[in-house]
Structure 1
Amino acid sequence: MTSSDRGGAGGEPVRRQNNSRTEPLTLTSERAGGGVLVLHVGGPLDLLTSDALRQQVRARLDDGVRALVLDLEQVSFLGCAGLAVLDELARWAEARQLRVRVVATSHPVLRSLEVVGLDLRLEAAATVEAAVSDCS
């Protein structure tokens, strides 16, 4: 079962003003086997868009989900608010005994996770397939 959604009210993308251009945060999800929810995140993850990620993750987690994979490969910017939400979601998932993995290979995203110590809580994988396999 696959669903494709964009974060924001009424299915509209969450938009961020950036030097006179608008860049949306995109969120799509899919169910992998074994109760793994994969959430693909694209665009900037910052103060203006991080709440959409929080809401969309929580809205998609139901009783059948036992692991969450956050695909950050298309994240163009990871700000402090985005890092705070990732930390909050990791703690929230851990409290519910859900495994959480991130897919991240870009230096800016990996470095941001390292600087705040999230690389220790959110194990990174190079591909969605590897992260899903690790959660199975």
Structure 2
Amino acid sequence: MREETGVPEPAATLASVRVDEPADGVVVLHVSGELDTSSADELARPLKSTLTEGLRAVVVDLLQVRFLGSAGLEALVTGSKRAQELGVPLLLVASGRAVLRPIQATGLTAVFTIVETVDEALVKV
């Protein structure tokens, strides 16, 4: 709380994305935090701007995601569709229940290529 006014501080961003290019034509989006209705755009925007023709692959690292809601799933599905249109492989890195359970519960394991580590993803591309 702000001491002088007693008004709560604005909510911090629930999710953040750091973009990395570990190899030519390969982009890794390192996502952390919570992907819900109020924060899914933190992933959707960089995913959309990153997916361009000529890329070898896009890897979405979800290892630091604590919550994956329906809006976060929607951002991933939209990204996957765009990647397919461009012929760019999209791989998800996930090993925690907070991410894997919503993907499994919605039947999206058939849509995504999921690996356990970024290194494993980079070997596949």
Range of TM-score over shorter length: 0.7 to 0.9
| Among candidates 69, 89, 99, match of residue 89 of structure 2 | 99
Deviations 1:73-122 (A, max 9, x none): 00111001111111111011111101011110001211111111221111
Q: Distance in 1 between matches of 2:36 and 2:95?
A: 19
Aligned to 1:70: 60
Question: Percent identity among equivalent residues?
Answer: 33
SS of aligned partner of 1:68? strand
Q: Matched residue pairs, number?
A: 116
Deviation of 1:21 (Å)? 6.0
| Among candidates 99, 110, 125, match of residue 120 of structure 1 | 110
- Which blocks of at least 5 consecutive residues in structure 1 are unaligned? 1-19
TM-score (norm 2): 0.84
- Runs of 4+ aligned structure 1 residues displaced above 6 Å come to none
Aligned to 1:60: 50
Deviates most, 54-63 or 36-45: 54-63
Structure whose residues are more often strand by fraction? 1
TM-score (norm 1): 0.78
Aligned to 1:38: 28
Task: Say what the alpha-carbon RMSD is for the aligned residues.
Answer: 1.7
